[in-house]
Amino acid sequence: MTTKALQKHKKEDDFTQFYKKLEELVPGLKKFVAGSLQTAEDQALLDKRFYDPDEILDEVYLETFREFSGQMNENELRRGLFKKALQRIAAKQEEEVPDEVNTHALLKGELKTLSEEFTTDAEGDRILMDELDDISYIQKQGWSPEIVLNDSLEKQLVQNFELDEASLLSDEKRKLLGLLYNTIPKRSKLIVELIVFGQQNTSEISWILEVPEEIVKRIVFKVGERFRLL
């Protein structure tokens, strides 16, 4: 088992082999860290190309090496690695959240926001409460209408949220997808990133973020509604 091999490497103080074994256990972790950093850079939350995904992984793996106990099972270890990565990225963004406000409460607030953004038009179709091409809406959100996501992220969103790939053939639609993605509330976007970059399911995300799975599922549903505006 992986945990037995890790225990052996730690006992021998062999961080290199310990590191390699963790990479084999969670191959999607590096993709998640790189994708999350890229998203933060695109939104000007981090300086471009200032942070290296490998350096963040080194920090995560080193902390895991120090804390590792043979009592951990593989699922706990896998989810714990994602949790540590999230904490590192949040620290890089110098995010300050009051101690009395937890992730569960914040996500519930964002879920309410996501729900209130939609209304129904005369034909019964779901639309955004504010017109997306309304400059006041865009300025209020702080995003440029010219944001175009990279091809890899677009493909992941199409695949994971079952979008119509043909709807992204025009530059206008790609910009709209960029706007829809970049205006997702911050912690709700973490859920999307864990899905598209980390390949985590709602149960795993619930464990990583320490929130009820039902909240995670509802966030995913609301985000899916948003993307289906395309």
The tokens describing 187, both together, are 């912690």
Model pLDDT for residues 132-158, shown as the tens digit of each residue: 444 344 444 544 446 788 888 888 898
Give the distance from CA 189 to its chain's centroid.
Answer: 5
User: Does pLDDT of 2 surpass 70?
Assistant: yes
In the numeric block, the tokens 């995670």 are attached to 216
pLDDT, mean of residues 203-207: 91
- CA gap 5, 17 in Å, rounded: 9
Higher pLDDT, 41 or 146: 41
User: 133-156 burial by CB neighbour count: b if 16+ within 10 A, else e?
Assistant: eeeebbeeeebeeebebeeebbeb
What percentage of the chain's residues is helix, strand, coil (to nearest 5)?
65, 5, 30
> What would the two tokens of residue 94 be?
């110098």
User: What pLDDT score was predicted for residue 139?
Assistant: 43
Residue 40 near residue 93, CB atoms below 8 Å: yes
Residue 120 pLDDT grade (very low, low, confident, very high; cuts 50, 70, 90): very low
Give the pLDDT of residue 106.
Answer: 61
For 48-97, write each residue's pLDDT tens digit: 777 889 999 999 999 999 988 877 788 888 889 999 999 888 888 765 34
**Mean pLDDT on 17-28:** 90
DSSP state letter for 51: S
201 pLDDT higher than 90 = yes
